[in-house]
């Protein structure tokens, strides 16, 4: 009898191992299938950022099921946003106030009326403590209209006209504001959200902001406000004691006088903790890999740097 029990236990153990192995293989198969889908789209799909209707984006539908874990414990507020809670003072370090979120709503539960009195002796209850529980709420994006009213004045005696100075607009004749354009740029370049998708997202709020309009805003603001900042950063970069430089291929869609498959180049320069200047990354887009591009960028600067073995850096950068 003991031998039979041991046999059954071994069989059950083998079955459990095989079931776990099957789950691992199913997961691996799904992951490889998703990677294959993404690779096929990159190779054979359209190059523009606008997706065709019905396109199944990687992990768009199966990510929740794949990542779900019914046995995982519910995270506490401190785990969701650790920086919003105070920590105990750590040895040798100054205590920091990390309360990042403001409590905007307080819901209080109190005894009222007859419930405030003890049913046994009819004595009024006394508050001895308060139990506080915090819950996290999500407030969707909210859009506001800022109306500017400029008063025009006239001298009753001589008829001279005068109006007060007002803050300059971000873009002349445009409804765009710094917060709106900054949000669009952040969504695209930090969040990786294409303009075509942002257009559809704005439409959900009954806002008609086309991809073309948003692209125009980005380009105009980049030329007017970010280009001068780039030049200041470049001046600081050229004063660095040490830097890095490299180049990489990049394909640009609809580049004038170039085929869609033509390779262009992005030259990248950056500083690090040893540079003696603020940390920064500067990008310089060029159509070729010619050596005069870094020469023009660096000018008369002789900057010790860590670069790739590409020989063109030799005249300007010490590798």
pLDDT for res 150: 93
Of the three residues 238, 273, 291, the one that is the final residue of a domain is 238
Higher pLDDT, 80 or 124: 124
Residue 209: pLDDT above 60? yes
* Chain mean pLDDT for the chain: 78
pLDDT for res 9: 79
pLDDT for res 36: 79
Q: Do 215 and 261 belong together in one domain? A: no
- For the segment 175-187, the average pLDDT, to the nearest whole number, is 94
- Residue 311 within a domain: yes
Q: Do 253 and 268 belong together in one domain? A: yes
> Predicted confidence band at 58 (pLDDT cuts at 50, 70, 90)?
very low
CB 220 within 8 A of CB 210: no
Of the three residues 238, 253, 274, the one that is the final residue of a domain is 238
- For the segment 136-165, the average pLDDT, to the nearest whole number, is 89
Residue 269: beta bridge partners? Answer: 245, 282
Helix (H) or strand (E) holding 243: strand 243-250
Count of domains for the chain? 2
pLDDT for res 63: 44
Q: Which tokens sit at 250?
A: 């990049």
> Which residue reads 């590409």 in tokens?
310
> Which residue reads 């606008």 in tokens?
50
Residue 65: pLDDT above 80? no
Domain range enclosing 272: 240-319
Q: Do 309 and 244 belong together in one domain? A: yes
Q: Do 248 and 295 belong together in one domain? A: yes
Where are the strands (E) in 155-230, listed by range?
Answer: 161-162
Q: Do 244 and 234 belong together in one domain? A: no
pLDDT for res 187: 94
Query: What proportion of the chain, given as a percentage, has pLDDT over 70?
Result: 72
Give CA–CA dist 124/116, Å, rounded. 6
Distance of CA 80 to CAs 65, 69, 105, 187, Å? 21, 17, 19, 22
- Residue 28 within a domain: no
Q: Which tokens sit at 318?
A: 């010490």
Q: Do 245 and 257 belong together in one domain? A: yes
Residue 216: pLDDT above 50? yes
Q: Do 311 and 248 belong together in one domain? A: yes
Residue 281: pLDDT above 70? yes
Residue 64: pLDDT above 60? no
Give CA–CA dist 203/213, Å, rounded. 14
Residue 302: pLDDT above 80? no
List the one residue out of 156, 313, 197 whose CA is nearest residue 247: 313
Residue 284: pLDDT above 60? yes
- Residue 194 within a domain: yes
Residue 167: pLDDT above 50? yes
Residue 139: pLDDT above 50? yes
Q: Considering all CA atoms of the chain, what is the largest pairwise distance in Å, rounded to the nearest integer?
A: 119
- Residue 314 within a domain: yes
Give CA–CA dist 95/73, Å, rounded. 29
- Residue 92 within a domain: no
List the one residue out of 198, 216, 261 whose CA is nearest residue 47: 261
Indicate the pTM of the whole model: 0.62
Q: How many CB atoms lie within 10 A of CB 174?
A: 14
pLDDT for res 10: 80
- Residue 301 within a domain: yes
Of the three residues 210, 238, 266, the one that is the final residue of a domain is 238
């Amino acid at each position: 009898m003991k031998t039979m029990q041991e046999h059954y236990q071994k069989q059950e153990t083998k079955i459990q191992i095989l079931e776990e192995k099957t789950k691992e293989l199913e997961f691996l198969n799904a992951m490889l299938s998703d990677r294959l889908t993404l690779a096929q789209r990159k190779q054979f799909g359209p190059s523009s950022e606008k997706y065709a209707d019905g396109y199944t984006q990687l992990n768009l539908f199966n990510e929740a099921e794949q990542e779900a874990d019914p046995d995982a414990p519910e995270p506490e507020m401190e785990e969701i946003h650790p920086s919003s809670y105070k920590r105990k003072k750590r040895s040798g370090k100054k205590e920091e106030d990390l309360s990042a979120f403001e409590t905007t709503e307080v819901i209080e539960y109190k005894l009222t009326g007859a419930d405030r009195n003890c049913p046994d002796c009819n004595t009024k209850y006394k508050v001895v403590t308060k139990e506080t529980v915090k819950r996290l709420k999500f407030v969707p994006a909210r859009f506001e209209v800022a109306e500017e009213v400029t008063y025009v004045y006239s001298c009753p005696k001589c008829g001279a006209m005068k109006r007060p100075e007002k803050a300059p607009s971000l873009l002349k004749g445009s409804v765009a504001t710094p917060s709106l354009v900054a949000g669009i740029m952040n969504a695209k370049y930090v969040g990786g959200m294409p303009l075509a998708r942002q257009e559809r997202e704005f439409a959900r709020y009954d806002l008609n902001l086309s991809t073309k309009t948003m692209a125009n805003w980005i380009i105009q603001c980049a030329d007017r406000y970010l280009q001068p900042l780039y030049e200041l950063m470049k001046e600081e970069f050229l004063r660095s004691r040490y830097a890095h430089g490299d180049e990489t291929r990049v394909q640009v869609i609809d580049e004038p006088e170039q085929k869609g498959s033509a390779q262009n180049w992005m030259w990248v320069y950056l500083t690090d903790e040893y540079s003696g200047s603020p940390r920064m990354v500067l990008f310089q887009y060029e159509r070729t890999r010619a050596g005069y591009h870094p020469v023009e960028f660096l000018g008369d600067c002789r900057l010790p740097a860590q670069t790739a073995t590409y020989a063109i850096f030799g005249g300007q950068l010490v590798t």
